[in-house]
Structure 1
Amino acid sequence: MSGGGRSTVARALENVGYYVVDNLPQALMIDMAELAFAAGGSARRTAMVLDVRSRAFSTDLAGAIKALRERGFQPQVVFVDADTDVLIRRFESVRRPHPMQGEGRLSDGIAAERELLREAREQADVFIDTSHLNVNQLRARVEEMFAAEDTRRLRVTVLSFGFKYGLPPDADFVVDARFLPNPYWVPELRDRSGREQEVSRYVLSQRGAVTFVETLARLLNATAPGFEREGKRYVTIAVGCTGGKHRSVAIAEELARRLREGRMAASAQHRDLGRE
C-alpha cells in the first residue's frame, strides 16, 4: 500500500544484499527474473518493488506472480500495509495526495488501492503491518527475515592516513597516532612501511601503543550493537600520523586484526601509503 513503508523495506533489502528494482511493471517481472537468473551470483537475490504506479501497464499483480511460478521461479511476496488512519496521517504529514485519489478525498484513494490489491494481499507469503512500527523497527524486521547472518553484521574499515594530506571526509571516528615515536627518524625503518614486520614491531613496542589499540577495539565493540540496531552497516575509523606511512599503518593493521579475532568484519585500508 502506498504510504505503508515500501521504500523502507526496499532500502532494508538493499542493506542485506538484494538487487532492488523499483516501480517495475508487472508485465516485466518474468523478464527481470530471467535476467537475474542468467546473471547468477548475487544478482539472483533480486527484489522487485511493485505498487499502484504500475497500474498503467497492468492491474493483475496476482496473475503476474502466478506466471512467475509457472515458469519455475519461487517468488516470495511481501505485502506492506498499515491501518487507514495511519496511512492518512502519513500522507498528510508529507502534504501529498494519494496516487489514486484523483479529485476525491485521501480516504477514497486508499480505499481504491485496497480493492485493487486485495487479491495480492490475500496471496502474500509475508504480510507486514507497519501501523505501529517506526522506520528502524521496520528495517530491522525485514533484515531479520531476509538477511544472511553475515550481511547483518557491522563492517568496520580501519583507514590509515597522513594528517599532512588532510582528514578523510568519510570517517566516523578519527584518532591520532602521532603521540608515538616516528619510525621515520630511525634510518633502517625510514623507507619501510607500517605493513612490514620490522616497522610494526617498532611501533607496537612503544609505550602506550598496545593500550591505544586495545582501547579502540573496546570502543568499537561497545558501539557496534548500537550501530547495528540503528541500521548503520559500515563504520570507518581513521587512524592518522604525519605522513600515513608508518605509525598509522601499523596501528590500523593491528586494530583490524584484533577486531577480526573478536569476530567482527574488519579490514585495513591505507589512504596515503606510497604518496611519499
Structure 2
Amino acid sequence: MKLIIISGRSGSGKSTALQALEDVGFYCIDNLPAPLLPDLVNQILRDPDHPNKLAVSIDARNQHSNLKQFPDIYKRLRETRRLDCEVIYLDSSETTLLQRYSATRRKHPLSDDSQGLQQAISYEKQLLEPVSDLAAIRIDTTRLSLYELRDSIKLRVARRQEQELSLQFESFGYKHGIPLDVDFTFDVRCLPNPYWVPELRGYTGQEQPVIEFLEQQPEVQQMLADITGFLEKWLPLFEKNNRSYITVGIGCTGGQHRSVFLSERLAGHFRATMDNVQIRHRELN
C-alpha cells in the first residue's frame, strides 16, 4: 500500500494537496493524530479489500507531544511490510502566509490571547521540524496557484511509480529570490543575456528568436553540457539511496530567458531516459 503523509504550515496548501490526491484515487484523512497512524495502517492492511493508496494530513493541530513522537512513528511505518510511505512537506514564505490569513480572516490554530498571528506562524515552523526533517519532497507554494499546486501533486507525487525518481527543473530569477524547495541551484547569470539585445527583450527562452540566439553561444552550450554531466553522474546515486524527488533550480537575473532555455533543454534531455520529469518556469507562471 502507498501511504503519503502531507504536512506543512497552516495556509501552505495542505487541503488542496489532499484534494488532488483524492481526485486520483487516494483514500484521504485530514488532521489525524500522529500516534493513531500505525494502528490505522495495520487495520487497513488486515482488510483483504483495503485501499492501495492512503493519504493523511498531520500538522500543528496535533498535540505537541505527538509531533515529537513522529520520527519514531515514521521509522516503524518504514519497517512495515507491504507499505511504501513518504512525507510531503508544504511551506510558503511567512509574508505569504500572513497575507493569506489576512485575506481569509481565519484564525490560526496556534494564535491566542498571548500569541499573535506572526508569532504563531513562526512557532508553527519549529513545532513541525520533526516532520519536515523527514520529508521526501518539499514544495514551496509561495508563488503557486491552487491549480498549479494540484498539478504538481498529481504529476510529481500521485503518478510516480514505486522506486522511480521524480525530477523537476525550475527556472527562476534571482531578483525575485531563490526558491525554497530546490535541491541543486545552478547560477547561469554569467551567460550572454538576450535581455540586452533590444529585439529579443520581449521574448522568452521558450520562443524561437531567443532559442536561436542562445544556441549560437559557446558558453551556453558548455554550461548545458556541464550541468547535464553533473546530473547524469550523481542522480543514479541519489536514486540508489532511495531518494524519491530531486528539484533542480536554474537561475538567471529575471527568470525570462537563459534559465528558461536551459531548463527546457535539460528537461528534454532527461525525458529520453526517465519517466517522471517535470518543468516549471516560476517567473513565467
| TM-score, normalised with respect to structure 1 | 0.50
Specify the structure having the higher radius of gyration (Cα). 1
Would you tell me which structure has more strand in proportion to its own residues?
A: 2
| TM-score, normalised with respect to structure 2 | 0.48
